[in-house]
Chains A and B, each alone.
Chain A
Amino acid sequence: MDVRIQKIDETNTEYVEIGCYKTDSRVQDIVRFVKAREGSIEAVLEEKHYQLPITDIYYIEAVDDKTFIYMKKDCYEARKRLYEFESILSEREFARISKSVVVNLMKVSSIKPALNGRFMCMLANGEKVIISRKYVPDVKKKLKGEAE
C-alpha cells in the first residue's frame, strides 16, 4: 500500500483519505487508529470494555446516577460523571445542552424550535435531543466560537 502525504493550507481541515479496493478489516484498523489519535473514552457494553473514539460519539446523557454514551446505534455506559465529560470535552466540539445531556455538535444536522423557548437538536442518526432554555445562550456562543 502506498503512503502519500500531502501538505495543505492551514485554512483547510486536516483529513486522512484511504484509497482501497474494499473496506476490509485492514482498512477498519487504520480508521480506528486515526480516530483513536483524536482521543477516546472508555465505556462498557454488555460487560465488555471499549475505547470509543470521541469523534464518533453522538451525545452523553446522565440518567439517575449513571452516564450513558450514545453512538450511532449503540449505547454504552461510562464510569465518569456528566460534569467530568463536560469538562474534558469543553475544548472539543461538544456542548452541554441540558442538565442531563452533552452533545457532539458535529453530529447535529439541524436545530428546530421545541415548546416553551427550548430547541431540539436533530442528530445525524435520526435521534432528537432537547436544548433547554438555560443552556441556549451558551450553545449560541459556542456555535459562534465565542465560548470561553
Chain B
Amino acid sequence: MKERVVDAFRNFFIIVTHINVAMFVLGGVLKPDQKFGYEAFAYPLIYGAITSIPGLCMRTTKEMSIAQTIIREVIQLLLIVVALLVIMFGGRPLTVDMAFQAASVAVSVIIVFILVNLIRWILDRKTAEKMTADLEAFQRRN
C-alpha cells in the first residue's frame, strides 16, 4: 500500500511538471495573448489529479506480461485523453477552432505521457544499476 501511494505521488508530480511545460508551449502557440488570474496555478494540479485517476483505477495485483503492460498503458493513455477532452471541451458546441485546440491538447497529452514514462524508465534504470552493483557485491560475499 505504501509503495502504491509513493508511486502515485511520484507519478503525480512528474505529470504536473510536464503539464506546466505543455501549457506553456500550447498557450504560447494557440493563445499567446491570453491573461490568467492566480487560479491558473491550480490547473496543472487539477489536470495532474485527473490524469492520475485512470492509473490508480487500473491498478491490479495480477502480475502482467510485458505485452499486457503495454496494452494497459495504451488503454490508460486513451482514458486520460478522453477524460481531459471531456473536462476541457465537454458540453460546448464543436467548432473548427475548438477541434484544433482539442487535437493540440490530445497530442500534448500523448507527448506528456511518453515523457512521464521515459522519466520513470530513466529513474528505474538508475535503480537497476544500483541493484546490479549490490548484486555483484552480494555474489562476491557469498
Contacts and interface: CB of A to CB of B under 8 A. Distances in A.
B17 interface: no
Q: Is the interface of A mostly helix, strand, loop or mixed?
A: mixed
Contacts of A118: 69
A98 B124 CA distance: 17
Q: Is the interface of B mostly helix, strand, loop or mixed?
A: helix
A113 B141 contact: no
A105 B141 CA distance: 12
Contacts of A117: 7, 120, 124
B127 interface: yes
Contacts of B142: 13, 93, 106
A133 interface: yes
Contacts of B132: 110-111
Contacts of A66: none
B128 interface: yes
A137 B139 contact: no
Contacts of A99: 63
Interface of A: 13, 93, 98-100, 105-106, 108, 110-119, 130, 132-134, 137, 139-140, 142-145
